[in-house]
Structure 1
């Protein structure tokens, strides 16, 4: 693992002059934010040693290094998912590379189904906590103490100071920012109405197929994490209609302006 990380880091550093301090993981339909990076260096994942390749529509599949809101950043324009057939080690590998590049703060975003019946498609949700319903953990196996402790603390997976900052920026911009618990499942099938009723009873507000493994690894490596979900649709059973990835993409397109404004102001203040 250490050798793979070091080889990927050296490959990037030999080709990209930017020394990023902030990392952004941009989920389904939200990668448009990377187009705002200045002095951008775009690196397809497939060229980086040991990186998998993103296969999902709405994920461009590249790193974008540059300056955003005045800060040196590394943006993941698309991510990897367990349901694509990758191991969780592969899914979270970019987070480990980010840390070794010098990044200590990471902002993870995703498109999620709304479980809270009071919310609407197009809402933004600040993630205050998560429930790992994948029944998997990227830290299973040999632990490299150079990367992090055997038993990392997850009592504050999403940094409280960063959450407070996000709330202030949302208020400044006049953006309604929900706050809730994200439930991570493996996918790729959407949940049944019965599963959604169960997840709501367990305290979930939104559900998705990403983010949780990345956050666990980020915390393992001592990074500060902020998470924002775009509520792209209401989950199964809340409305009497079928679910589709096309709806996810359409909603992300509709809210991209307020999403971009919020993330830009957060990064500017970091």
Structure 2
């Protein structure tokens, strides 16, 4: 069984964010981490590997520094890693990103593809389902539990205030929630092994099944008119009151702000 896990290096927004003049994130200037939903998806794949002996390949599209994140995934237990990087792919929206990632996935053997539900730098939850659309695969989103049964997967997926249990034949694509599991830590041995492994690097020219009209900023139908960091308007107010007084105080504040 071959599992491809699509992961993304995202800015650690705890330190604030910066933007380029064209409205895209200035990723090169910020600390980077593995996207939390993607990390849960990787852990799910590794647990399937532990149970079935599956091969796990991690794939990312990003800057060359994403090599560090791929090494982290290898140290956690992934078998192979692929980095898709090329200046011509920069500034991509979800459509251009999914087109590129799908073209890369086509070069790999896969029975199951796992992505995170969404990335914390965009929160669109679009790329995973779009990859499935490009590959003509069924997709199960918002997964909180994944089990493999023969040539099928059984997924418990979150849906509003309830759950669905869905069964699908492989190949298929699953988008994972960070609540799916608690990702494992890297081991010292895994870290040493990770830096002995080769990360496969592909550029635009390696992806023959890709139309230039669908890549990078120029191939992105989404255009950002303006982007800015969140500005804090005040330090806030802390009060200590009994429950009844607290309710009255909050109601008065809301009336002052014309919220109610």
**What is the TM-score when the length of structure 2 is the normalising length?**
0.29
Determine which structure has more spread, i.e. the larger CA radius of gyration.
2
**What is the TM-score when the length of structure 1 is the normalising length?**
0.28
